[in-house]
Structure formats: C-alpha cells, structure tokens
Amino acid sequence: MEKRPELDILLCAPRGFCAGVDRAIQIVELALEKYGAPVYVRHAIVHNKYVVDGLRDKGAVFVEELSEIPETDAPVVFSAHGVPKSVPADAKSRNMFFLDATCPLVSKVHVEAQRHHAEGHEIVLIGHKGHPEVVGTMGQLPPGSISLIETVEDAQAFVPRDPANLAFVTQTTLSVDDTREIVEALKLRFPAINGPHKEDICYATTNRQEAIKAVAPEVDAMIVVGSPNSSNSLRLVEVAERAGCTNAVLVDRASEIDWSRYEGIRSLGVSAGASAPEKLVDEVIEAFAQRFAIKVEARVTARENIAFNIPRELRTIEAAVSR
C-alpha cells in the first residue's frame, strides 16, 4: 500500500457557530416542533447552505419577501441578520405571527443608530452594500439618515452635511483590521465623530479572525469552511491571506476541495465561519485523512461561553426539549 504523506492540521478555535447563529437555528427548529410545518423564514436564517437545506427538509419555507407568503396562521421567522423596520410593520398589518431571530448584537447596532439619530447626528454605517444586515440597519431610520461607507477611499471622499455632528456604527461581521483603517480615516477628517460605546464588530467575528491570525503564518495552506454568501467567512479567508498564508480558500463542503492546491503541503490550518456547523469541519478533516497521514492539533486563542435567550413564545418547548 502506498504510504500517505504526513500532514499536520492546526484546527483554529474558536470556529464555527456563534451564539447568534445557534439561537436563530434553534428558533426555527423549536417553532417547527411547537407549531408544525410550515414555518416561513424571511431570507436564509443564516448564511450556510447546509443549514438552510436541513431546515427546509424539516418543513421550513424560505422566502425573500413577506409578499411571497400566503394568508396563514403559520409562524414567520426573521433571519439572524435583522430586518428593516418596515418588515415587522408589514407583518403586523397582515396579522402575521412572527418570531424575530435577529442576533442581539445586530439589534444593539440598531439601537445605537436610533440613539444617534434621536440626538440629531448624521450617521455613517461602515459595511458592505446589499448585505442583509446593512439593509436592516439602514432600514431602522428614515431614508437618507444613514450614509454607507465600504472602504478607506469612501471615508476620504465622504462629504457630510455637518462635519461636527457625525456618528458611526458598523456591520458586525467585518474585518477588524479593515474597519480600524476606515475608522482611523474618518477620525482623521472628523475628530468629533461619535463612535459606539463598545466595538460593533461582534465577539465571534473578532475571535475567529484572531485565531486565524495565530495559525496562518505557521501553515502552508488554510481552509475556511463556510458558504460564499457568508460575510464573516469571506473575511476569514482575507485575514489568512494578510497574515501570511496565500493559499487560503473558502469551501462549503469537503466535496468542493480542489486537491491540486494541496500537493506537497506539510501543514494545513482549518477554521469555519460563524454560520458553518462543526459536522462540515469534520467532513473536511476526514477528506484529508483519506489522502494524508494526519495529525490534528487544536490551537485555542479564546474561550466562548456566550448564549442568548430565545423568544418567550418558544421557551416552554425549549425547556421540554432540553429535559
């Protein structure tokens, strides 16, 4: 039998599901358990194909807009990314029963934006155009209240109505380093700009990026498990490249691995975006075990023990399920 080449796998920790994703998936699963199928979900509950397909198989029906949902008593769940204020207002006008799975850390940004607006500040949102979280945050306030800034160049070109009366908030899943550069560019031009009391980029995004930074310089290649529409997963690939691992890629499943990239490597880093289940990480490691004699070592850079409460309507069923 041909001898398999040796491969050291450094497994980044933390990786995978964060508390907000865990809560959102639980909300859909508990709603299905309590109310039965169908449970309608506005937008992908989290940005992971495997998770969405699994919930669809259990009876979740995914739509992009409430207008796609027929007259129904079935629950409607809003995704973890948050929604504009017009969405719950529309749901109420149609007497829909809805459950809000918005991540509490995204809700915190919504509250900040509303506070700044109430105080009369012009608001800048650092984020990616078209991302549902950005659409949801901008939709908390009247049109024109928030200006989107995506890059340092945007920050340098931005012309506010009143430079002395500005505030900024950020998307929760950005690159920590990119965001720092944009904030610095804004502060250089507008020293009086008001920022968040505490970092808007969520703990999970930050922790996963820090873990990648610790591992990337030590490995020949890096795989991030996650879907291509997942902002935080895409950022992990960029962070790996910047930290010195140029052979860094995002894969949704082990079946997508391009094996030509791994010929002759001796070490591999593995991480997963905040919406990718651990089962898919195990799949990737198993695929490498078929071709290499692997040795796996966990590289732990932080511990996470955060959990978020689920909506009151589902707590009785949650208690029954966990018994």
Upper half-sphere CA count for residue 246 (Cβ side, 13 Å): 0
Three-state secondary structure call for residue 77: strand
> Catalytic annotation on 133?
yes
Rounded to whole angstroms, the Cα distance separating 232 from 227 reads 10
Cα–Cα dist 99/35, whole Å? 12
Helix (H, G, I), strand (E, B) or coil at 305: coil
Catalytic-role residue among 64, 133, 199, 210: 133
Q: Which helix (H) or strand (E) holds 203?
A: helix 203-215
The alpha helices in 101-202, defined as continuous H runs, are 104-118, 132-138, 152-157, 176-189
| Strand ordering across the sheet containing 166-170 | 146-149, 122-126, 166-170
Tell me the torsion sign for CA atoms 213, 216, 222, 228: positive
Buried b (16+ CB within 10 A) or exposed e, 97-121: ebbbbbbebbebbbebbeebbeeeb
What residues are annotated to the active site? 133
